[in-house]
Every structure is written in structure tokens, then in C-alpha cells.
Amino acid sequence: DPGEEEAALADMRGRWPKARYGEDKERSGAIARRIFDPTLWRPERPLRVVLSGTDFEVRVWETLLGIPMGRATTYSDIAAKLGKPTASRAVGAAVGKNPVSFVVPCHRVMGKSGDLTGYHWGITRKRAMLGWEAGRVEAA
């Protein structure tokens, strides 16, 4: 969808205004396959990303990396894991600032009641990502 592509590019430009952007479909396609094709996942060769945020944001993102595919957690559970049981809203803000959505799986975080809550790319996409993962887990 061209609208989503433009929104993603605008988001990146906002985060990294001095970066130069170009398109390399071959390279980005190879990276996308490594992310979305479980047959290409190699624990000895992890995908590396550079994340820039506050110490708290990075701790939240690191916690997200520990949520297994096909599982979910809540903002309050993450806050408790970080030793900040009253920081659910701050966790939500950090989750919302995650710049690499599927790689750092912010879509696996739900509201306390188990409801699908806000997601930068929309609840429909969040539901689709969770469904895709559930299918992969069931097939394994």
C-alpha cells in the first residue's frame, strides 16, 4: 500500500532526519525473508539492529525481545518485570516508540484485560501479526 509506505518513510525521516534514504529491493528482500521465513532463522547468526532510546525505553524493548512467538504479555507485567510496577503507562509509551515493530515484538503486548490495545500501525495489522505468529507456532 503506497500510503503505508509513505507513512513508514515519514516516520523514519522523523526519527533520523539526517539520514540518506535509498531503495535496495534485493537487500531489503533478503532481510525481510530472514525475519519472516522461519526456515531461515539461525540462532548462531542473529539479526542485528541498533536501537536508540532512553535507558528505560531500551530496557522495555529488551523485555519485548523475551516474549516468545505466539505468546503475549501486558504493559503492567512488563512494568513489574522492570521493577517499576506503577509504570504501565511509561511502558506503553516506550512500546509505542519502538522503531522496528516486528523485530522487537511490540505487537505481543496487550491491555491488562487481554484486549488488543493501540498499535502504531493499527489494530488490524496487530491482529494479523498475532494470527500469523499463531499459525507458525501451531505448524511447528
What pLDDT, in 10s, does the model give residues 24-39?
889 888 888 877 777 7
pLDDT tens, residue by residue, 45-76: 777 788 889 999 999 999 999 998 889 999 99
Question: What is d(CA 4, CA 139) in angstroms, rounded to the nearest whole number?
Answer: 30
* pLDDT value for 2: 67
- Residue 108: other Cβ atoms inside 10 A: 19
CATH class, domain 55-139, is: mainly alpha
Q: What pLDDT band is residue 113 in, cutting at 50, 70 and 90?
A: confident
Question: What is d(CA 55, CA 45) in angstroms, rounded to the nearest whole number?
Answer: 26
Quickly list DSSP for 61-93: HHHHHTSPTT--EEHHHHHHHTT-TT-HHHHHH
Is 106 annotated as catalytic?
yes
Of 30, 32, 3, the closest CA to residue 101 belongs to 32
User: Where does CATH 1.10.10.10 sit in the chain?
Assistant: 55-139
pLDDT tops 80 at residue 129: yes
pTM of the model: 0.78
Q: Which of 79, 106, 129, 130 is catalytic?
A: 106
Q: Identify the helix (H) or strand (E) that includes residue 54.
A: none
* pLDDT value for 118: 78
DSSP state of 135: H
Question: What is d(CA 42, CA 100) in angstroms, rounded to the nearest whole number?
Answer: 19
Q: Could you tell me if 67 and 133 are in contact, meaning their C-beta atoms sit under 8 angstroms apart?
A: no
- How much of the chain exceeds pLDDT 90, in percent? 36
Question: What is d(CA 115, CA 130) in angstroms, rounded to the nearest whole number?
Answer: 13
